[in-house]
A and B are shown apart, each in its own frame.
Chain A
Amino acid sequence: MKPVTSILIVEDETPIRDMIKFALSSTGFEIAEAKDVKEAQKEIAKKTPDLILLDWMLPDISGIDFLKQLKQQDNTKQIRIIMLTARAEEDNKIKGLEIGADDYITKPFSPRELITRIKTILRRGELVAPDGIIKIDQLILNTQNYSCKIANNLIDLSKIEYKLLYFFVTHPNKVYSREQLLNHVWSNEQDISDRTVDVQIRRLRGQLQPYGYDKYIKTVHGHGYQFNSNPE
C-alpha cells in the first residue's frame, strides 16, 4: 500500500490554517499544523513531512531563516516547500526560490490552485531517486554532477539550459508563464527579457530534438510553457 503523503502547515493565523485544512480535507493527505517555527520543529521531530506550506511572516523565526535551516540539515533538506507569501514581498519570493523553496503562492489564493501546486511538486518525488537521479523515459538527469543523458548519450547543456530542464522536470504537467520561469530559473539577473525565456527554450529544445525529447516541452499559447511527463 502506498504510504500516505503528509503535509505540514506552518502559519501563525489560525483561520488561515483552518481554511487550508478544510481545503485539503478531501485530498487524503495527512495534515499536521504549527503556528510558529518552534511548533513546526516539534512536528517535524514527530514525523518528517513530505511537504511544508510555509508562511513567510512567522512570530518567532522568519520563514526565510527557517527555510535556510531546513535546507542545511540532512534529514530535512529533501522536504518540499511551498511558500505562502504576501503581495508586497517580490524580493523575498525570489530569495526563497534561490535558497531552495519549490514554489510559492500569494495570499489571498485559490485553494484549488494551491492543491494543484502541491500535487505538481509531489509528483517530482516519483521521479527523483535517493542518489539524485531523475529519470523520464530514457532521459536521465544527474543532479549530483549536473549532467544530462538520453539513451546513454551525453547531452552538452549550458548552465541555464540545465537549470531550465531541471525546473521543468521537477515541476511537471503545469503551465508556467515566462515571468514565473524568469523568477524560478534566472533569479535576480539583469539584462534579461521575456524573450530570453523563448530563446533558451528554443535552444533547450534544439538540444533534445535529435532524440525526440523536445516534444516534452509544450508551448501553451497566451500562457507560457509546460513540461509534459507523458507527451502523446
Chain B
Amino acid sequence: MKKTTLPKKIVTHIQHLERIRQDFVANVSHELRTPLTVMHGYLELLLDESKLNNAHKNIFLQMQQQTLRMENLVENLLLLSRLESDELEAKTERSVDIVELLSLITQEAKTLSGAGKHKIILSADVKLNLMGHPEELRSLFSNIIFNAVKYTPASGEINIRWFKKNNQAYFSVEDTGIGIADEHIPRLTERFYRVDPARSRDSGGTGLGLAIVKHILIRHNAKLKVQSEPNKGSIFTCIFPNKRKAAKK
C-alpha cells in the first residue's frame, strides 16, 4: 500500500505512532544499561575469585552468559532503532577498508565456530574499499557471517567473498548449512522472525540480525539476495552500487 495514496491525516498519524514505538524501544533499551552494567561488572569480579567451588563457578558462568545475551539484545535493539529513525548523519561516512574488516570478522567467526571446526575461507579483492559507515558495515558483515556459522553443522564449509562485478561491489557468504525453505525467504528480514525457534534460541540469536542487515543495506543503497535450499546450504549476497565503491589509496 503506497503511503502517497492515503489521506495526509492518516499518514501523519502512522508516522507519529512509529515515532512513539521507536522512542519506546530506545528508552527501554537505554534504561536497561544500568542494571546490565552492574551485573556484568559484579559477575566478572565474582568469577575472578579463585575460592569458588565448581558448582558455584558454573552458576556464575551461566548468569554471565545470560547477561551477555541481554546485552546483545539491547545493543541490537538500540542499533535498529537508530537505523530506523534516520538520525545517523551522513558525515560519519568514510572510505572503509573492507578486506581488513572482513579479515577481523573471519577471525571472530573462527572463534565462534570453536569446536565446530568449520572451514571458513575468505577471498577478497584487496583494492576494493567501500564508502560507508564503518560500524554499520561491521554489523552488516558480522551478522551474515555469524549466521552462516550458527546454521551450518560442524565441519561444514563457509565461503566469504568480496569482489567487483558489473561495476558493482559484491559481498557473498556461501555455506553448506541447513538451508532455508522458499516460504521463509521473503520474511527473513522481519524483526524476531524465526524459521525454527528452538534452533535459533540455542545458538544465542536475538532475532534482530537480519532486520539490522536490511536497514544498513538501505542506508548504503545496497540490496540483499538470498538463495537457499533446505539441507543443501545458502548463499547470502549484498550488492553495493557503483557510487559506493572506493579505491584503496
Chain A residues packing against B (C-beta within 8 Å): 13, 15-16, 19-20, 22-23, 86-88, 90, 107-112, 179, 188, 190-195, 199, 222
Contacts and interface: CB of A to CB of B under 8 A. Distances in A.
B45 interface: yes
A192 B104 CA distance: 20
A108 B100 contact: no
Contacts of A109: 37, 40-41
Interface residues of B, number: 33
Given A111-B45, A194-B97, A222-B103, 11 more contacts: A13-B38, A16-B37, A16-B38, A16-B41, A88-B30, A108-B39, A110-B41, A111-B44, A191-B94, A193-B96, A195-B248
Contact of A190 (B38, B91, B246, B248): B91
A227 B163 CA distance: 35
B116 interface: no
B125 interface: no
B129 interface: yes
26 contacts: A13-B34, A15-B38, A16-B37, A16-B38, A19-B37, A19-B41, A19-B42, A19-B45, A22-B42, A22-B45, A23-B45, A90-B92, A108-B36, A109-B37, A109-B41, A110-B41, A110-B44, A111-B44, A112-B44, A191-B94, A193-B94, A193-B96, A195-B97, A199-B249, A222-B104, A222-B107
Contacts of B37: 16, 19, 107-109
Contact of A194 (B26, B30, B40, B96): B96
Contact of B33 (A107, A179, A195, A199): A107
Interface string B43-56: 01100100000000
A57 to B, nearest CB: 10
A16 B34 contact: yes
Contacts of A20: 41
Nearest to A110: B44
A179 B134 contact: yes
B84 interface: no
At the interface, is chain B mostly helix, strand, loop or mixed?
helix
Interface of B: 26, 30, 33-34, 36-42, 44-45, 48, 71, 75, 78, 82, 91-92, 94-97, 100, 103-104, 107, 129, 134, 246, 248-249
A108 B37 CA distance: 4
Contacts of A107: 33-34, 36-37
B129 A193 contact: yes
Contact of A23 (B39, B41, B249): B41
Nearest to B104: A222
A85 to B, nearest CB: 10
Contacts of A191: 94-95
A193 B95 contact: yes
Given A23-B41, A88-B30, A109-B37, A193 B97 contact: yes
Contact of B40 (A86, A87, A108, A195): A108
B100 A110 contact: no
A88 B92 CA distance: 14
Nearest to A23: B45
Report which residue of A90, A108, A109, A222 has the largest number of chain B beta carbons within 10 angstroms of its beta carbon. Answer: A108
Contacts of A90: 92
Nearest to A84: B37
A108 B34 CA distance: 8
Report which residue of A86, A193, A199 has the largest number of chain B beta carbons within 10 angstroms of its beta carbon. Answer: A193
Contacts of A88: 26, 30, 78, 82
A168 to B, nearest CB: 21
